[in-house]
């Protein structure tokens, strides 16, 4: 059993997933740090594809203090409708495909209870106006907004997003200032930024000083330059100086890059004075890196991941992709899982029951909204309370989700006033 210092107040909360009840510790730091930028010592990094909901739930189960969602570009979240998904106890942000004429596609999903006050939404942007418009859509359902100013991938840089913002600091400052004033303050949520180091310590420190004038609460530093690849060792020579600049401005500083475990994070906190550390690749391979007691066997973690994915009706392709990171490539199970085409087949391969809360045929292989999700939307208490989701309108198969009830909300049209969703754990 994990031992907690006396400075912590420990209570327990139950979450029922995949046919079993998890009793998770709810830890409240009663010692010193109530700063809005402090989320705990060890958090899950934003990761494209692997940072979807099942991974985040598992990271929190294993002790992550907070989780970042995968980066979502401003234009991707703009135009989404907020949908209460009672069958999975989630909030889905969906957008119709094919110019609004096709099926609804889930752009972003958060668990209403497990991720409450724990989830940071990371936005990719190069425009203050679009950043604000996109952030407003999710602001009431997340614990903060983080701007991605560190992604070195071409799709980000060529659009002026990600690490390209490091070369346009005035634009980055404008984006952060706008988010603080127009999203952070009105919704009482913190705004932060994730960056990379620049070519010289002087340039990095000058950039951090500018960022700390915007009203943000936290700077996360990936200790590599933009051209550096993950296989290259991190550079932490300037990290302590960055921490000093942040702290002088009342801003928290987190470190990212080659953080291997909670124990490693605690060593880095002690050595460099950072407020916390962010784990990426190590958590991608085994989310139990957040445990104080050490790693669990990959088989146990893979089974828990699949049970979690099944319990929320996660889409097949991403479930398979993430399991491919958890299962050793030389193990026979790896090929069994990668050949699977359904959640049931993956469960069979791992020898666990497939306890779907709905029919296997209702699960989509991609992000498009499944029949089960639509059923949850139509039967949710929020829809009923608003007078929607019943009668003949539900039976007209040609009707789109947007015409079936007001649980599906276009944020821009309602001035971001979203009704609080009903909680219905399954």
Parallel, antiparallel, or unpaired: how do β-strands 119-124 and 144-149 relate? parallel
- What is residue 419's predicted lDDT score, i.e. its pLDDT? 32
- What is residue 101's predicted lDDT score, i.e. its pLDDT? 80
* Residue 201: pLDDT over 60: yes
| Alpha-carbon span 181 to 127, nearest angstrom | 15
Q: Which of 151, 322, 347, 354 is catalytic?
A: 151
| Alpha-carbon span 165 to 339, nearest angstrom | 40
Query: How many other CB atoms sit within 10 Å of the CB of residue 171?
Result: 17
Q: How many residues does the chain have?
A: 426
102 confidence band (pLDDT: 50, 70, 90):
confident
Q: Which two tokens stand for residue 243?
A: 């921490």
Q: Cβ(374)–Cβ(358) under 8 Å?
A: no
Q: What is the CA 142 to chain-centroid distance, rounded?
A: 9
212 is catalytic: no
- Residue 368 falls in which region: left (phi positive, over 0), alpha (psi -120 to 50) or beta: beta
Q: pLDDT tens for residues 269-288?
A: 999 999 999 999 999 999 99
Q: For the residues 172-195, what does the mean pLDDT come to?
A: 98
* Residue 397: pLDDT over 70: no
Q: pLDDT tens for residues 213-243?
A: 999 999 999 999 999 999 999 999 999 999 9
3-state SS assignment for residue 87: coil
* Residue 422: pLDDT over 50: no
Which of residues 352 and 375 earns the better pLDDT score?
A: 352
Q: For the residues 341-369, what does the mean pLDDT come to?
A: 78
DSSP 121: E
254 contact partners, CB below 8 Å, separation of at least 6: 43, 218, 219, 220, 221, 274, 275, 276, 277, 278
Q: pLDDT tens for residues 319-338?
A: 999 999 999 999 999 999 99
Q: pLDDT tens for residues 106-150?
A: 999 999 999 999 999 999 999 999 999 999 999 999 999 999 999
Which of residues 34 and 420 earns the better pLDDT score?
A: 34
pTM, two decimal places: 0.80
CA distances from 168 to 119, 173, 202, 211, 260 (A): 28, 9, 16, 12, 32
Task: Tell me the backbone φ, ψ of residue 389, rounded to 5 degrees.
Answer: 75, 15
Segments in 250-311 forming alpha helices (H): 262-272, 281-285, 298-311
């Amino acid at each position: 059993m994990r031992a907690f210092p006396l400075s912590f107040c420990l209570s327990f909360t139950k979450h029922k997933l995949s046919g079993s009840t998890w009793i998770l510790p709810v830890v409240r730091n009663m010692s010193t740090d109530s700063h809005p930028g402090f989320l705990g010592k060890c958090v899950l990094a934003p990761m494209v594809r692997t940072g979807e909901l099942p991974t985040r739930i598992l990271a929190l189960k294993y002790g992550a203090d907070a989780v970042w969602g995968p980066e979502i570009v401003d234009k991707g979240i703009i135009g989404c409708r907020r949908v209460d998904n009672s069958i999975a106890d989630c909030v889905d942000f969906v957008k119709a495909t094919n110019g609004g004429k096709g099926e609804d596609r889930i752009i972003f999903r958060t668990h209403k209870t497990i991720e409450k006050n724990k989830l940071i939404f990371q936005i990719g942007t190069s425009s203050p106006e679009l950043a604000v418009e996109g952030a407003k859509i999710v602001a009431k359902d997340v614990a903060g907004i983080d701007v991605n100013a560190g992604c070195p991938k071409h799709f980000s840089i060529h659009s002026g997003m990600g690490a390209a913002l490091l070369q346009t600091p005035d634009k980055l400052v404008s984006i952060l200032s706008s988010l603080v004033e127009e999203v952070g303050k009105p919704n009482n949520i913190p705004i932060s930024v994730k960056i990379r180091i620049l070519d010289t310590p002087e340039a990095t420190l000058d950039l951090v000083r500018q960022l700390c004038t915007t009203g943000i609460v936290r700077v996360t530093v990936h200790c590599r330059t933009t051209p550096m690849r993950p296989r290259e060792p991190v550079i932490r020579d300037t990290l302590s100086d960055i921490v000093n600049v942040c702290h002088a401005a009342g801003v928290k500083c987190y470190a990212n890059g080659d953080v291997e475990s909670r124990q490693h994070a605690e060593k880095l906190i002690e050595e460099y004075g950072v407020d916390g550390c962010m784990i990426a690749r190590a958590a991608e391979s085994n989310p139990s890196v957040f445990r104080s007691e050490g790693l669990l066997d990959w088989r146990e973690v893979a089974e828990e991941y699949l049970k979690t994915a099944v319990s929320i009706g996660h889409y097949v392709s991403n479930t398979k992709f993430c399991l491919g990171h958890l299962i050793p490539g030389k193990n026979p199970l790896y090929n069994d899982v990668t050949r699977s085409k359904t959640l049931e087949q993956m469960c069979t391969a791992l020898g666990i029951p497939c306890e779907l809360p709905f029919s296997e045929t209702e699960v989509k292989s991609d992000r498009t909204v499944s029949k089960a999700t639509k059923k949850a939307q139509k039967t949710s208490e929020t829809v009923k309370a608003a007078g929607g989701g019943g009668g003949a309108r539900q039976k007209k198969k040609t009707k789109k989700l947007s015409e079936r009830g007001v649980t599906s909300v276009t944020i821009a049209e309602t001035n971001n006033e979203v009704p609080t969703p009903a909680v219905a754990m399954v």
